[in-house]
């Protein structure tokens, strides 16, 4: 299985851009997916297959993948974006990242 490392926390001012990274050995050849989990709620898929957005997810959420790092970018951050964010990929099992708590200042 993969060890996917994310920064534990990230603070960003409203209107600014948040970039959340997900690192793992040789993940460049894997598709990475991202989830948002607001406090007390179930996770919500915000990006799949590196950069595809499910219907209903704002264009402010975008994903990219280069080498051993995948990145979720949230543009024009809003108060409602305050949440935990997890990356995930599929190898022999589904592996989740360690999670990043995003705080909107």
| Secondary structure tally for the chain: helices H, strands E | 0, 9
**Residue 51 contacts residue 63 (beta carbons within 8 Å):** yes
| Nearer CB in complex with another protein: 17/90 | 90
| Nearer CB in complex with another protein: 69/96 | 96
Q: Which residue ranges make up the site for another protein (CB under 8 A)?
A: 1, 30-31, 33, 35, 41-45, 48-49, 54, 86, 88-90, 92-99
Provide the minimum distance between the beta carbon of 37 and another protein in the complex, in angstroms, as a whole number: 8
| Nearer CB in complex with another protein: 16/71 | 71
């Amino acid at each position: 299985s993969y060890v996917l490392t994310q920064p534990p926390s990230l603070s960003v001012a409203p209107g600014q851009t948040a970039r959340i990274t997900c690192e793992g050995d040789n993940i460049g050849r894997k598709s990475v997916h991202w989830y948002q989990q607001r406090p007390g709620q179930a996770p919500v898929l915000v990006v799949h297959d590196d950069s595809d957005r499910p219907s209903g997810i704002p264009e402010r959420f975008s994903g990219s993948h280069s080498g051993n790092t995948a990145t979720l970018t949230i543009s024009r951050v809003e108060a409602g974006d305050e949440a935990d964010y997890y990356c995930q990929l599929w190898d022999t099992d589904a592996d989740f990242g360690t999670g990043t708590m995003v705080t909107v200042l």
